[in-house]
Structure 1
Amino acid sequence: MKKSQSNCQGVFLWLNVVSGFLIGWSVAKSDEPLILQIDEEQPPFTIIGDINAGLPPGHTTSSFFIHETDGTGMSSDLIIDETTGIIKTAKVLDHESRDKYKFVAVNWGGDAVEVVIIVNDINDNSPVFPSKQMKLNVPEQTPVGTRFRLDSAIDADGGQFSTQGYLIKDGNVGQAFRLETKKLAETLDLELVVNSPLDREKRSTYTLVIEAFDGGTPRRTSQMILDVSILDVNDNAPRFNQTRYYTMISESLQPGSNILQVFATDTDEGNNGVVIYEINRRQSDPDQYFAIDSKTGVIKLNKGLDYEMKKVHELVVQARDNATHPEVTTAFVTVQVKDYNDNQPTLTIIFLSEDGSPHISEGAQPGEFVARISVSDPDYGEYAKVNVSLDGGDGKFGLTTKDNIIYLICVDQMLDREEQDTYQLSVTATDSGTPPLRAESTFTIHVTDVNDNPPVFDLSGYRQSIPEVLYPGSFVLQVTARDKDEGSNGEIVYSITGSTNSHSEWFTIDQTTGVITTAANLDYETDPVPKLVVTATDRGNPPMFSSATVTIAIQDVNDNEPMFSRNFYNTSIKEHLPMGTCFLQV
């Protein structure tokens, strides 16, 4: 009984000693911890190491007391032989679940060993995308370089075994896209970058196979399917199957009858590709003789026609899509009215200026077109042959044709608006009937100005005399130049561009009126006759200019006191000189 009690007291004493070492860190503790390493995924009962390796040299033990901190998982994951000090795995260790174990072992001799077991990571996990398939909508015409954030692949491994990069494995037709990554914290963010211009009408979808890979050897990978849909933008206008349509109808045709059908297509999709037809009433058919079906493009007669009132109807037909900001295309429809009782030629004149008005620049060269004339006659056979002639214009204009249907009025001689700014022309079309019938159109061609005349001064040189005592701002004289051109080409700006000396700063000129005034005090003694070079410049592009000389005679005033050449004079004379003898000059 005493022996048992003695043993219990010994154990109790030993525990107290150990506890003292653990709490106060006995001087027998090793300076450095015993660091053991093992790769994750090793089978159970794999030997990790021996606690004895952490004892001071020459120290051995036959028993250890192990101090474990709560929550370290050591009791469930490790097997520690307290007699031998051998440490083994109790199960397969996982670096991603726990990468380190720490505990303190104390032997009977009071030696304490801090043991650190590091579970090394191995490449046992592949990068994993959040989903196997992802959809992305990208509008066509998206600027090259635009980025779209994609779901990144997560790899449970760390370090080099984590996700290291991405690549497009398949489906990147025409290298339309590229991938870029950005390192943020522990993840490698993924972005899809537009690499080349996108056109939905050429390709509307891309199925990209995106692969993520880690840094293992061999590396582990996973893939995600990215379905990229190219969204339509309204980048295509409707296109007619022909730019001009032509038909001939009888004036007896009843309202509601079909005349012809125009047709246009739009390669966009949805509302962007829906074609709506309409007649441009501002440019054609203001009296609404015709109507068009907005969906089918069928043109119908809306009300009765009168051949004697109008023989040819030129319709401007528009096809627009149904987008929020629609694209519009125009086609021309020529409707010729046939009269079986009274057939005569018809003339349609289209002036080829930018705004469609009858004018031509005076700078037009011979051969430049002024107007286009369409000639038609509803008769057939020999009677349909039409002769077109041009009268008026003082020989400045001519007429040319290649097919006797389309005629062109062109410039025949150089024009000068300053000599003549309008010409009366008359175009006559005469058929081959007996007696012949004719159609005639008379119009006025206006010649527009070009900047071909420089300003011209009324005088080549001006002269003015002014007193020296004029105050700054006083009137000196006014120069005047005239320009034969009109508009901005004839607007004149005056300036002083130089002088024959360095005193042009004495004067200034009003750029609009040409009035020259003094800008500073004048000094006759410095320059009695300053000369200015005055330039008149028009506002044409490029501008033209001319110059005139202005001579200004300054009248002297008594504004200076006499000045002796010396402040002190000294001389000597002989006595007895006769009167009148000069002995000094000042």
Structure 2
Amino acid sequence: MKTHFYLLLIMCNILILVIDTTPVDKTQGLDEERKQPLSEDGNKVLHRAKRGWMWNQFFLLEEYTGSDTQYVGKLYTDQDKGDGNLKYILSGDGAGSVFVIDENTGDIQAIKRLDREEKSVYTLRAKAIDRKTERQVEPESEFIIKIHDINDNEPKFTQDIYTATVPEMSEVGTSVIQVTAIDADDPSYGNSAKIVYSIIQGQPYFSVDPDTGIIKTALPDMSRENREHYQVVIQAKDMGGQMGGLSGTTTVNITLTDVNDNPPRFPQSIYQFMSVESAAVGTAIGRIKANDDDVGKNAEIKYTVIDKDAKNYFEVITDQKTQDGIITVKKLLDFESHRMHTFEVEAANTFEDPRFSHLRSFKDTAIVKIMLHDVDEAPIFNRPFYVFEVSEDVKEGSVIGHVSAQDPDSTKSSVKYSIDRNTDLERLFDIHSGNGSLILAKPLDRESTPWQNITIVATETKNPGLSRNVQAYIKILDINDHAPEFAQHYDTFVCENAKPGQLIQTISAIDKDEPLRGHTFFFEMVPEFSINPNFSVLDNKDNTAGILTKRNRYSRHKISTYTLPIIIFDNDYPVQSSTETLTIQVCACDKKGNVLSCNAEAFLLPAGLSTGALIAILLCILILLTLVILFAALKRQRKKEPLIVSKDDVRDNVVTYNDEGGGEEDTQAFDIGALRNPEAREENKPRRDIIPDTIFHIQRAVPMWENVDVQDFIQKRLKENDSDTTAPPYDSLATYAYEGNDSIAGSLSSLESPALEENQDYRYLNEWGPRFKKLADLYGGDESD
């Protein structure tokens, strides 16, 4: 069947080629290149040329299984006369490797098995060449070989396994998930890629849309509590699901998620527990539990005590891990008043789904009974704490209050009282052990401690191990037992140039007492000093007072300090007063009232002398002292010994190595001592790097030569250096370069002397030559200098 199908396809291709073949008219006068007719003047006539190539688009089936090559089609041009003069050449996609052409006939064959999914279209180019001229008889042209698809690929799902969830109790048709399969075949050719979905496993719970692959619920009221997980197998088949199509499958794991469709339920209606009456607040008595088939937040339960009376004594706390209800004590229990507590507890979900609230109640109740056991309890005070007020002037032994405690048991044992001395270290209080009367043992002082806090202990007489404590807070009430006093220490002064009525100080007062109406102070002068010619006290009526001057000018040389006694009263009962003394110092001030000096022995400055002027005077004095110190230092410096105190000057140590003179005779002929600094031989040798105080008379040495010109030059240079303030110190070497007057001898060089006179006196050279050589060696010159 498949071989016949291929033969039929080849015949269709050949038929298409024959139908598409169109003959080309041949006329006279065609252009050799394009075979276009020429006009009478020889120019080309522009006409649409007919294509000489004769073929249409080629088609080829993929996955050819024959043993021979697969025929594709034939290339032909109307220029082919059938004499074998033309040669066909093929190039492009797969030319030579996938497709070959018979160069003589133009037949194209496929030599390989083709796969459309790898490459569906091949673009090739064809040439027709004249074998003799090697010229193209037709321009190169492209053609296409299209691979026709066959159904050789099955549908494949994008995932091997899908996972999905859907809420339980969902309505029929609720979408769960969409699966997708892909077919690699050509969707535009036949039904090879047309996929149809179907469900193989998972019915009747789920269904699948055959076209889209959407999985939906198929049964109502699917309960997670009955079944939670489902495995659904979906098939995808191509060829539109017809016989002979290829198929693929995938697995979808679907889980039903929980919704709050189940209320909590107590497994029993009555719970009984036992407890002692002495159980502390927060003690757990027992656990109850309501079951809920839901999970997660849908199974969270809150428990509530319904009875009002029981709410005061008990509460139920939910254990978040187990959802148990823990019954705890909220208030101290009393066996004598309630030997059994019976109450109702309600369990309800913290989260309710409104979709199911109309179907059933989401609450459940149970009865809880708690039996109490009697225990021997400690005494109980009639108050949780006590507060007493006592005046600080109460006498010792006075009763300041009472406390009371009773045994809560039916035996009603007697109670004795005591004070915890760790809270009353000073033992200010005592208590009557029988009736609980609190007694003052020592005087109280509110100013030192306004409150006293003590602990009172009540103990059963029959069972001393049972006791209970209570706090007693004692407030000390104030009495007016302290006199007012100055609020601070005042450093008061008055200027010498003060005028009458001038405010020099504002004073205030403090009092250790705390009257209920607040403090009110009054200020007066001591009656004995009320007539004071110097100062007065003015009460400002606001708990302050001003100190005013009463006369012109004060003299600190006559009286440097005044004392002013002042009486301060309070307004409480009984009235308390004190006498405070204000010390006022007389000071010298400027016109603005700024203090200049308060010392009576201070230097009298001219009137109106400012602080800036005083500072300027002090700076001038300081500068003068500095100059005196510098002058003294310079005097001491001038008296220092010179650097070279030896008679041998440093210049005696100059040694020459290039002496060309006459030996020792020349050295003895030159007295180097003449060039020594004559001041170095004096006892007091001044420095040469400063200006000398006196000019020393230099003692002239015996001349070394008789040339007056050189002597004058050397003496002039020595005098200039001695008087030069910038000259270097003694341990430096000064050179004097002197060329002298015109030499009668001319040049000493025979090279520069054009001629020598016969009567030249060479005794001059013989006498002075070695001396000039010595001077040249010492001062850096040569014999010609």
Q: TM-score range by the shorter chain?
A: 0.3 to 0.5
Greater strand fraction, Structure 1 or Structure 2: 1
- Whichever of the two has the greater Rg, that structure is 2
Higher relative CO (Cα under 8 Å, sequence separation at least 6) belongs to 1
Greater helix fraction, Structure 1 or Structure 2: 2
